[in-house]
Amino acid sequence: MSFLCFLVSQLFLTHSVYAVSPRSLDPSSNFLAPRTIETDESFTGIGGFFFPWTGFTGIDQLPLLQYDGDGDGRTWYRYAVECIGSFAIWFCLMMCAYFCCYRYQCPVPEKKEDAEAGTKVEKIVEDILHGGHFQCMQDSNICICSFCCFGLRWADTTSLAGFLSFWVALFCISVMAFLNAAMMFILFGIFTSTLILYFRHKLRRKLGVEAWTLGTCCIDLVYVCCCPCCAISQEARIVKEAIEGGHEGFLPEEI
């Protein structure tokens, strides 16, 4: 739900950022119809793509500036307020989901009484890692949380694996998501993908499987970029099975 609300807020932000100057509108034209913007070739970016923060010159060439009827334009401050505001709404809703229902839906896994560390649990987690890329619905609770509140689910998995504390992991994924939103108007991008990829390989190493090779980096990068929510769900299932099955890398430390 928080993810959907963020998308709605981003629609308003994107609409305002790329709004057309009222002075340039033809009364008979459709305001929602796409239009061609003539810009300096030095600012066209890759394939004509414009970043939200790309600089332009001229009244009719300002995706960041919306001219009001009296000629007052929008500023970087206004853009920052809208971007931070929409992200704050998403983050607050995510926190509400955590305190209201997240832990009830995704309780902390514990080792089963009849579980014994050995080749059986190792085979299960390796099968999920190598062949469970799109088997999200095998655990519906994890699947729903991964797609609706991916930040909570990823932070929970990272903390259960012993890499970071829950709140530190949540802070890291939230900062990366904000940087993506500020630059590209999307939550998933280069920053979140890099973070997920790094800890995914730490998980690989903890499981004792191949990690930090060219092949694993390329495969995981494509997977994370194509469907990050599926990757988060897969990692959560792996950690859950490892803990419940008594995997030697996830046994509680004896004091």
Asked if the structure places residue 105 within a domain, the reply is no
Interval 77-115: pLDDT, tens = 777 888 888 889 989 999 999 999 998 888 888 888 766
| Average pLDDT, integer, range 179-191 | 84
Asked if the structure places residue 169 within a domain, the reply is yes
CB 232 within 8 A of CB 150: yes
Q: 72 and 114: one domain?
A: no
Q: 115 and 229: one domain?
A: yes
Q: 54 and 129: one domain?
A: no
The more confidently predicted of residues 225 and 247 is: 225
Q: 167 and 237: one domain?
A: yes
Share of the chain above pLDDT 70, in %: 67
Q: 136 and 246: one domain?
A: yes
Question: What integer best gives the mean pLDDT of the chain?
Answer: 76
pLDDT range class, residue 146, cuts 50, 70, 90: very high
The more confidently predicted of residues 218 and 121 is: 218
CB 6 within 8 A of CB 87: yes
Asked if the structure places residue 126 within a domain, the reply is yes
Within the chain, how many helices (H) and strands (E) appear?
Answer: 10, 0
Q: 152 and 41: one domain?
A: no
CB 154 within 8 A of CB 100: no
Asked if the structure places residue 98 within a domain, the reply is no
Asked if the structure places residue 23 within a domain, the reply is yes
Backbone dihedral region for residue 47 (phi beyond 0: left; psi -120 to 50: alpha; all else: beta): left
Q: 131 and 232: one domain?
A: yes
Q: What value, to the nearest 5°, has the Cα angle with vertex 113 and ends 108 and 118?
A: 95
Q: 216 and 125: one domain?
A: yes
- Domain carrying residue 7: 2-81
pLDDT in the model for residue 52: 54
Cα dist from 127 to 138, 205, 232, whole Å: 13, 15, 16
Q: 77 and 139: one domain?
A: no
Q: 117 and 240: one domain?
A: yes
Q: 42 and 162: one domain?
A: no
| Average pLDDT, integer, range 179-204 | 90
pLDDT tops 50 at residue 69: no
Cα dist from 1 to 33, 104, 145, whole Å: 30, 16, 10
- Sequence-separated (6 or more) residues with CB below 8 Å from residue 183: 51, 52, 53, 189
pLDDT tops 90 at residue 26: no
The more confidently predicted of residues 183 and 37 is: 183
Q: 76 and 119: one domain?
A: no
Predicted structure pTM score = 0.72
Interval 203-218: pLDDT, tens = 999 998 999 999 999 9
Tell me if residue 177 falls in helix, strand or coil: helix
Asked if the structure places residue 93 within a domain, the reply is no
pLDDT in the model for residue 215: 93
User: d(Cα 179, Cα 7) in Å, to the nearest integer?
Assistant: 15
pLDDT in the model for residue 246: 83
pLDDT tops 50 at residue 38: no
pLDDT in the model for residue 252: 67
CB 241 within 8 A of CB 115: no
Tell me how many domains the chain contains.
Answer: 2
